[in-house]
Amino acid sequence: MTMSILNNGVHDFWQRLQILPRISLLRNTTLLQPLRRLSEMLQAEIWCKRDDLISFGLGGNKIRGLEILIADALRQNADILVTGAGVQSNHVRATAMTARHMGLDCQTVFWGSAPKCVDGNYRISRMLASSVVFTENPERSSVDSEITRQCKKLLRQGRKPYPIPRGGACALGALGHALAAEELYLQCLKQNIIPKTIVMATGSGGTHAGWLLGTKMLGNPWRIVSYTVSREVEEVCVQISRLVNEAAKLLDQELIVGEDEVIVYGGFIGDGYGIPSVEAASAIRLLASCEGILLDPTYTGKAMAGMMEKIHIGSGFNYPLVFIHSGGEPSFFAGDGKWLSI
Ligand SMILES: *Cc1c(COP(=O)(O)O)cnc(C)c1O
């Protein structure tokens, strides 16, 4: 980047990020489009960055982190990626697709026990995984120790496993999302838009962390806010600030972001992670019918519901606003769809 507003340290950050090994899975800048009817309805200028249209592996934000993680795995001569989460995880599906694309195996770990129906993301992960393990424990964190255990087992078998934490939430993966912030910045210059607020959904926090780091390194052109869909606000803010600081350190940057600088809103998890809420269902119906854009029930539907509510009650945001459509549509097709009440 050649922008005079950037000081030397910041230049150094983008240069180091550019030369970090990365496998190009995206190929292109994702679409940034106005949501005309929604903007009219809400009386606020709203745009959408369509990371759901990343074509590789059925897309979504996880592909951005994986571009860097898979390059690191290949550099370490790994022959199998090991990751996990819930059965409808976009992250696990995207990781399995990435592994196979690069000729590697993939082992998956899911919390709980095997569901009867092999649908949505699970259908893809199940088809691609060389082995599928269930923790038989409903705690989501049970996945973490099982990933470690499976890696040790694979090492004993002479394999070269590369573990990727739940959600791909690690410092290296977050750097892929810092690049997304730069991509949006350059795209906005081209399209003559000066967004003031970026809204996204937060699960494990790696995406928000990367966007926040990138935003800082761009000189804070906008505010990043997110809606948590799984953890408590306080917990996720700690996680995000930790990831920002670790990611900055990977590129030798002296940057400390406190958890009080991280803006995460709660109140839209509903009955729990991965359980569709009434508000998300109505946000999904609205976006599909007024814009022809499909959101997902686990992440983007809940974040959109939160964003619309905040605009409705009048406290609102600074505009223009860009909503990051981080993908996740395969989970729309899981289950009987009764939650949509159509
Ligand atoms: C994983 C995911 C998110 C959240 O990303 P994190 O880095 O886990 O916070 C948002 N939207 C979709 C569709 C996702 O799959």
Q: Block means of pLDDT (10 residues each) for the chain, length 342 residues?
A: 52 92 95 98 97 97 98 98 97 98 98 97 98 97 97 98 95 98 98 98 98 97 98 97 97 93 98 96 98 98 98 92 98 95 82
Q: Which atom number of ligand 1 is nearest to the Cα of residue 201?
A: 10
Q: Report the pLDDT value the prediction gives residue 341, as an integer from 0 to 100.
A: 87
The phi and psi torsions of 84 (rounded to 5 degrees) equal -170, 175
Q: Which two tokens stand for residue 168?
A: 């791909």
Domains of the chain in start order, with CATH, are: 3-60+170-341 (3.40.50.1100), 62-168 (3.40.50.1100)
Q: How far is ligand 1, taken at its centre, from the CA of residue 247, in Å?
A: 18
For residue 245, the model assigns a pLDDT of 97
Contacts with 111 (C-beta within 8 Å, 6 or more apart), sequence order: 84, 85, 86, 134, 135, 137, 138, 139, 140, 142, 143
62, 170, 324: which to mutate for ligand 1, most atoms within 8 A of CB? 62
CA 252 to centroid of ligand 1, rounded, Å: 26
Mutate which of 95, 204, 229 for ligand 1 pocket (most atoms within 8 A of beta carbon): 204
251-305 pLDDT tens trace: 999 899 999 999 999 999 999 999 999 999 999 999 999 999 999 999 999 999 9
Burial letters 18-53, b for 16+ CB under 10 A, else e = eebebbebbeeebebeebeebbeebebbbbbbbbbe
What distance in angstroms lies between residue 207's CA and the mean position of ligand 1's atoms?
7
Residue 146 · residue 109 · CB < 8 Å:
yes
> What pLDDT is attached to residue 342?
77
pLDDT recorded at residue 155: 98
Please identify, by atom number, the ligand 1 atom nearest to the C-alpha of residue 229: 4
pLDDT of residue 3: 43
pLDDT at 11: 76
Query: How many angstroms is it from 299 CA to the middle of ligand 1?
Result: 7
Residues lining ligand 1, judged by CB closer than 6 Å? Answer: 60-62, 90-91, 167, 169, 201-208, 296, 299-300, 326-328
Q: What is the atom index within ligand 1 of the atom nearest the CA of 60?
A: 13
Tokens 């060389």 correspond to: 130
Q: Which atom of ligand 1 is nearest to the CA of 331?
A: 13
- pLDDT score recorded for residue 7: 56
Catalytic residue among 89, 125, 230, 277: 89
pLDDT for 4: 39
**Active-site annotation holds for 341:** no
pTM of the prediction? Answer: 0.96
